Amino acid sequence: MKVLLLSNEYPPYSYGGAGVHVEYLSKELAKLISVDVRCFGDQFLAHHNLHVRGFKLDRTNFGCPKSLVSVFGAIQRGLDFNSFGIEADLVHCHTWYTHLGGILAKLNYGIPLVITTHSLEPLRPWKREQLGGGYDFSLWVERTALEMADAVIAVSQGTKQDILKHFRIPGEKITIIHNGIDPIEYQKHTSTQALLRYGVDPSKPYVLFVGRITRQKGIIHLVQAIQYLDPDFQVILCAGAPDTAEIEKEMEAAVKEASAHRAGVIWISEMLDKPSIIEMYSHAAVFCCPSIYEPFGIINLEAMACETAVVASAIGGIPEVVVDGETGLLVPVQQMQESPFTPLDPTKFAQDLAIAINRLMADKTMRQRFAQAGRQRAEQLFSWSSIAKETQALYHQLVGSS
């Protein structure tokens, strides 16, 4: 069997959980079947069963607004993925950026279409800030692809419920296959080189955030929570790749305000390499995930694998990863009815985050207990090898029935 994976992200151009997922899934699948990855960029790899090819974007004749470049770029690459020729038995898409490519492959080459839902566009209304009218396209292409797919993979039970609520898809077409972790790569490291390089004091405890500057990740709410945090620990924000210039300015203003009233706030605005991130996880006293929408939350799993206690929003797929009172503390988020995934009271949410962080930072014994349980949970339940086998079984079922 040969599968074609379509992704907008693949190393070295990964910036989110979908890129991590495709990277590790492709490597594990290649131990079982032939894997062809087509992605955005200039990557090229040919190693046994794994072949990776990046497709560049020709913007020579682009005269569209900046907000639409990524939209028309996705359309162009979807065409390129297909016109290059496809010999796979099945196409498997990741994120809406590749859905048009998957639709074209299913219709033109007559192969089954599988889609993994890392997030859902109807639940990310703030994307209009980034895409403008392109958000209407992303809504349309995602709905079209999901509703015509032969199988949909949800990364959590919470995501499955969201799919059933917002799309016309029979429940039997949806399979839950969680995200995973490489416990050998993601484990506690003793090196402090990255900490020193970015001005973090290894001798003082710190709470850590890792993620993109986007509404979805709730980073602004965490920054607003800093004013309520106890003053005797550092706050490290590894936050880059802002969705828009507006949210970047909002982040800058919020960090400036927080830093004016409290020492030890360090914002690392570049996207760190993997060894540096693992080092940051390893030495953090607490990792905080303040997401207001999170289908799975792979960053929590990465922190747990590095033996770090977690404070996270009790939303989406996060409770399937972080067990409240066992591997971390979960913070409820009361949401606005008319604007899903927006806190009803942002100030209260920020205060609740601070309460949970302060509680855990003040209790070293609890942190150590959570850290050990988190590592054990990551090892036992979220290995990429088992995830690849579940995915392969789904592929065989679809190819056999077609």
pLDDT in the model for residue 343 = 77
pLDDT in the model for residue 339 = 58
pLDDT in the model for residue 338 = 58
Domain 2-180+383-401 has CATH 3.40.800.10: no
Domain ranges of the chain: 2-180+383-401, 193-381
pLDDT in the model for residue 402 = 66
pLDDT in the model for residue 334 = 78
pLDDT in the model for residue 105 = 98
pLDDT in the model for residue 400 = 86
pLDDT in the model for residue 401 = 77
pTM equals 0.84
pLDDT in the model for residue 347 = 94
pLDDT in the model for residue 243 = 86
Q: What is the pLDDT along the chain (402 residues), one digit of tens a residue?
A: 999 999 999 999 988 889 989 999 999 999 999 999 999 999 999 999 999 999 999 999 999 999 999 999 999 999 999 999 999 999 999 999 999 999 999 999 999 999 999 999 998 888 898 899 999 999 999 999 999 999 999 999 999 999 999 999 999 999 999 999 999 999 999 999 999 999 999 999 999 999 999 988 999 999 999 999 999 999 999 999 888 889 999 999 999 999 998 999 999 999 899 999 999 999 999 999 999 989 998 999 999 999 999 999 999 899 999 999 999 999 998 766 555 567 778 999 999 999 999 999 999 999 999 999 999 999 999 989 989 999 999 999 999 876
- HEC letters along the chain: CEEEEEECCECCECCCHHHHHHHHHHHHHCCCCEEEEEEECCCEEEECCEEEEEECCCCCCCCCCHHHHHHHHHHHHHHHHHHCCCCCCEEEEECHHHHHHHHHHHHHHCCCEEEEECCCHHHCCCHHHHHCCHHHHHHHHHHHHHHHCCEEEECCHHHHHHHHHHCCCCHHHEEECCCCECCCCCCCCCCCHHHHHCCCCCCCCEEEEEEECCHHHCHHHHHHHHHHCCCCCEEEEEEECCCCHHHHHHHHHHHHHHHHHCCCEEEECCCCCHHHHHHHHHHCCEEEECCCCCCCCHHHHHHHHCCCEEEEECCCCHHHCCCECCCEEEECCCECCCCCCCECCHHHHHHHHHHHHHHHHCCHHHHHHHHHHHHHHHHHHCEHHHHHHHHHHHHHHHHHHC
CATH number belonging to the domain at 193-381, selected among 3.40.50.1370, 3.30.70.330, 3.40.50.720, 3.40.50.2000 = 3.40.50.2000
